[in-house]
Structure 1
Amino acid sequence: MSMDLEVKKFSYSPEYLLAGTDIRVTTAVKKAGADLKVGAPVKLDSSTGKVSPVGKSDGVAALYGIATEDFKADEEAVIYLTGEFFADRMALETGVTAASLEVAFRNIGIFLK
């Protein structure tokens, strides 16, 4: 039996979505209406009760929260409803910007940094 005594260097650079603890983080569980990526702003479909990513043409009227992790369609998805988040860590659809969602997020208790 041989031992590997070579010095190895490891590093880990986590990508944090949560930006602070000044505001209480709350979550809800909703069924995913489409695949979701961690950090994706989501909208709630009032007729189905499912959440899906916010697209460029959606506007901000149905903005609901932010996906906590990756979810497949029809899975139970945990969604952040309040808290502070890094805008540059969000998974945005093409044509959607954090700046365009900032005020609407603030109105529902989500603050972008």
Structure 2
Amino acid sequence: MSMDLEKKTFSTQPDYLIAGTAEIVTAAKEAAAALKRGAPVVLDSSGKLAAVTVSGSTGNYKTEATGLYGILAEDVKSGEQGVVYLSGEFFADALVLPANGSAADLEVPFRALGIFLK
């Protein structure tokens, strides 16, 4: 039996989503589709998690007025339970946004939920 004595280099890249010490409240909901950690989510007509959508090419979110639910805390597959952040402080540049979307468009609607973007 031999030992592998070759020098190995390991590294990690931190994944910063949580940005502060504000109280974080979470909930678990079933996902309607596969979603990534950091994705802003809404509840679809069946009460399942769905990604926010953008209307037009200027980045106007359809969900600004109603339906915005929170930020997904972990990757989730369709049909699985996913943890959602309902309040807290989060880094805007860590959000997983749809094409043509921007965190600035969601800043005010998120504030109404108790989610603050930095």
What code does the residue aligned with 2:10 have? F
Q: Which runs of 4+ in 1 moved over 6 A?
A: none
Once the 2 structures are TM-superposed, how far is the Cα of residue 7 of structure 1 from its aligned partner? 3.9
Residues matched between the structures, number: 111
C-alpha RMSD over aligned residues: 1.4
| Residue in structure 1 matched with residue 58 of structure 2 by the alignment | none
Structure 2 residue 39 is the aligned partner of structure 1 residue 35: no
The more displaced of 96-105 and 3-12 is 3-12
| Residue in structure 2 matched with residue 54 of structure 1 by the alignment | 52
Once the 2 structures are TM-superposed, how far is the Cα of residue 94 of structure 1 from its aligned partner? 1.0
| Residue in structure 2 matched with residue 17 of structure 1 by the alignment | 17
| Residue in structure 2 matched with residue 94 of structure 1 by the alignment | 99
The more displaced of 51-60 and 78-87 is 51-60
Equivalences for residues 68-79 of structure 1 within 5 A: 68-79=73-84
In structure 1, runs of 5+ residues without a counterpart are none
When normalised by structure 2's length, the TM-score is 0.86
- Partner of 2:34: helix, strand, or coil? coil
Q: Report percent identity of matched pairs.
A: 57
> For 2:6 and 2:34, how far apart are their aligned partners in 1?
43
In structure 2, runs of 5+ residues without a counterpart are 56-61
What code does the residue aligned with 1:3 have? M
Once the 2 structures are TM-superposed, how far is the Cα of residue 16 of structure 1 from its aligned partner? 1.2
Contact 1:55/1:95 (CA < 8 Å) preserved in 2? no
